[in-house]
Chains A and B, each alone.
Chain A
C-alpha cells in the first residue's frame, strides 16, 4: 500500500492553524425552501442577524487573517438584500467567495452580475437528477427552479459553476445522470455526505445510503478522482485505497462555521451548544475565538480512537464524522454510524429507541409549518 505524506501534515494541524482553511459562513437562516435534511434547520430569518456593517467587519477580519476564501451559505444567501454588497466587499479585500444557493433568486441579471465578478464560485444545489426525486427532499418545483438558475448562469457566460448534491438512498442510483447534467452545462459535480444535522436528524434514518450503496459510491468516486466532495466521504476510505483529500475530521482544526448571528461552531454540521466556541461580536472577534476558545482547544487535542482502536482501517477512516456520531447518539470516540465495516450497527440499533433523548440541534429556524415526516 502506498503511504501518503498526509499523516505528518495531520500531526502538524494539531499545532493549530492561524486561521481555518475551510470556513463556512451562513449569512442568513431565512430560506424560501424547507428541505427535509437542511443542516441548519433554516426557514425564518433571525432578528439578531449580523448587520451589514457587522458583516463587513467580519470580512475585514477574514482578510487580516489571510482567509483566502469563504464558503457562503444559509439559509438562502441571496435573500439577504446586501448580498452583493458583501460579496463585492469580500472580493475587494482578497477574500474569494464560494456560495451555495437553491437557485430560486438567481435571475438572469444576477447571473450576469456574478459572471462579471472575479473570485466568485457558485454552487447550485439539487438532490435528485429529476424533479420527482429532487422535489421529494427539496420541495415542489425546486428542481425546475434550480435548472432554470443553471441556464441563467450558462447564458450569462459564467463558466464552470458547481452542482452540489447531497447523496441519499434515493439519488445514489442517479450518479451517472447527475454527471450528465453537469456535462450538459459544463459544470463541475460536487457530491457531499448526508449528515444527521439540523432537520437531517429527523430524516437521516430514512435517507442515508445503504451499505451496498456506500460501496457503489466509493467505486464511482475512485473512478472519478476529479469529482469534488469537500472531503466528506473519508469514512469510505476504509473500503480500500484512500479517496482524494485530507481524510480527517477537521472540525475546529481546519473547518469552522460562523452562523448568521455570529456564533462560531466547530463545523457547519454541529450547530449545537456543545460545539459553540464563541461569537464574532465578542471582544477580540472571530480571530480570538479561533485562536483561544476552549472548545477548539479540546478538539485540537489528540482524540481517542475508542472502539475503533482495534480496527485495521483506522488510519484510513479515523473513525469518521463527529457530527454523524453526535446526532445519532453514538460515542464520539467510536465508529461512525455509517462505518463501512458495520461496526456501528449494533450500537446504532441500541440508541434508535429513545429518539427523543438524542441530541437535537439547539438552534432551529424552521418555518412554523411542519416539515413532512414519513415516520410515526
Chain B
C-alpha cells in the first residue's frame, strides 16, 4: 500500500514505530475514550472506538501503517492517519 507521509497537514511518519506514551491512561467511553496525560495534566478526547483500538494497537506493530492496515478500511486510512497525527502534539502517542 502507499501510505500518505503527511496526514492532515501535520508531519506524521507512518513508516515509523509509534506507541502510547507511558504517562497516558485511557478510559473507555461509549464515544471512544478519554486520554489523560499525567505529565502535562491534559485531557484529550479520542472520538471513536476504532481510533482507540488503533492507538492501543500501535505498540504491537512495527509501523503506524501496519497498525492502520490491520484495523482500518483502506478508504478510511487518511482520516485515521490524520487523527493519529493530532495526538502527537499533545504527546498522547510518541515515536518508539
Contacts and interface: CB of A to CB of B under 8 A. Distances in A.
A296 to B, nearest CB: 15
A9 B31 contact: yes
Interface stretch (B5-13, B21-29, B62-70, B72-80): B21-29
Question: Which of A5, A12, A69 has most B Cβ within 10 Å?
Answer: A12
A279 interface: no
A21 interface: yes
Nearest to B27: A66
A15 B30 contact: yes
Contacts of A69: 36, 41
Main secondary structure of the interface of B (DSSP, over half): strand
A92 interface: no
B34 interface: yes
Given A94-B25, A96-B38, A68 B43 contact: yes
A16 interface: yes
Contacts of A341: none
Contact of B27 (A12, A13, A68): A68
A1 B73 CA distance: 33
Contacts of B30: 12, 15-17
B29 to A, nearest CB: 6
B41 A12 contact: no
A68 B36 CA distance: 7
A58 interface: no
A275 interface: no
Main secondary structure of the interface of A (DSSP, over half): loop
A9 B30 CA distance: 11
A349 B28 CA distance: 46
A119 B47 CA distance: 26
B47 A9 contact: yes
Contacts of B34: 21, 68
A18 B41 contact: no
Interface string B79-95: 00000000000000000
A212 B47 CA distance: 38
Contacts of B41: 69, 96, 119, 121
Interface string B33-46: 01010100101010
B19 to A, nearest CB: 20
A19 interface: yes
B40 to A, nearest CB: 12
A16 B31 CA distance: 9
A95 to B, nearest CB: 10
Interface string A68-80: 1100000000000
Given A9-B45, A12-B47, A68-B43, A18 B28 contact: yes
B23 to A, nearest CB: 11
Contact of A18 (B27, B38, B47): B27
Nearest to A66: B27
B43 A21 contact: yes
Question: Which of A5, A8, A9, A68 has most B Cβ within 10 Å?
Answer: A68
Contacts of A96: 38, 41
A309 to B, nearest CB: 26
5 contacts: A13-B31, A21-B34, A21-B43, A68-B25, A96-B38
Given A19-B27, A66-B27, 15 more contacts: A8-B47, A12-B30, A15-B29, A15-B30, A18-B28, A21-B34, A21-B43, A66-B25, A68-B25, A68-B34, A68-B38, A68-B43, A69-B36, A94-B38, A119-B38
